[in-house]
Amino acid sequence: MNDSVQAIHELHALLKTCRCCPDMIPPVVTGKPVLSPVLSIGQAPGDKEGPAGKPFAWTAGKTLFKWFESIGVDEEQYRKQVYMAAVCRCFPGKNPKGGDRVPRRDEIEACAGWLQEEFALMKPELVIPIGKLAIGELMPVGKLTDVIGQQFEKELFGLQTSVIPLPHPSGASTWHRTEPGKTLLDKALKLIAAHPAWRGLFGQEL
Q: Do 130 and 112 touch, CB atoms closer than 8 A?
A: no
| pLDDT value of residue 99 | 85
CA–CA separation, 5 and 136 (whole Å): 29
Residue 112 is which amino acid?
Answer: A
Q: What is the pTM of this model?
A: 0.96
pLDDT in tens, 97-111: 888 999 999 999 999
Helices (H), 70-174: 75-81, 105-122, 132-138
pLDDT in tens, 114-145: 999 999 999 999 999 999 999 999 999 999 99
pLDDT in tens, 187-198: 999 999 999 999
* DSSP secondary structure code for residue 127 in this structure: E
Nearest Cα neighbor of 115 from 127, 99, 125, 103 is 127
Nearest Cα neighbor of 50 from 25, 80, 33, 75 is 25
CATH, domain 3-199, list 3.40.470.10, 3.90.330.10, 1.10.10.10, 3.40.50.720: 3.40.470.10
- Kindly tell me if the per-residue pLDDT of 204 is higher than 70: no
Confidence of residue 2 (pLDDT cuts 50, 70, 90): confident
Q: Do 85 and 43 touch, CB atoms closer than 8 A?
A: no
| pLDDT value of residue 206 | 40
| pLDDT value of residue 179 | 97
pLDDT in tens, 52-102: 999 999 999 999 999 999 999 999 999 999 999 999 999 999 988 888 999
Return the bridge partners of 171, or none. none
CA–CA separation, 163 and 39 (whole Å): 10
98-104: long-range contacts at Cβ-Cβ below 8 A with a sequence spacing of 24 or more?
A: 99/172, 100/44, 100/46, 100/47, 102/133, 103/24, 103/43, 103/44, 103/133, 104/23
| pLDDT value of residue 172 | 81
pLDDT in tens, 14-31: 999 999 999 999 999 999
- Kindly tell me if the per-residue pLDDT of 1 is higher than 70: no
Q: Helix, strand or coil for residue 114?
A: helix
pLDDT in tens, 158-177: 999 999 999 999 888 899 99
pLDDT in tens, 151-160: 999 999 999 9
**Residue 110, number of CB atoms within 10 A of its CB:** 18
CA-derived radius of gyration, the chain: 16
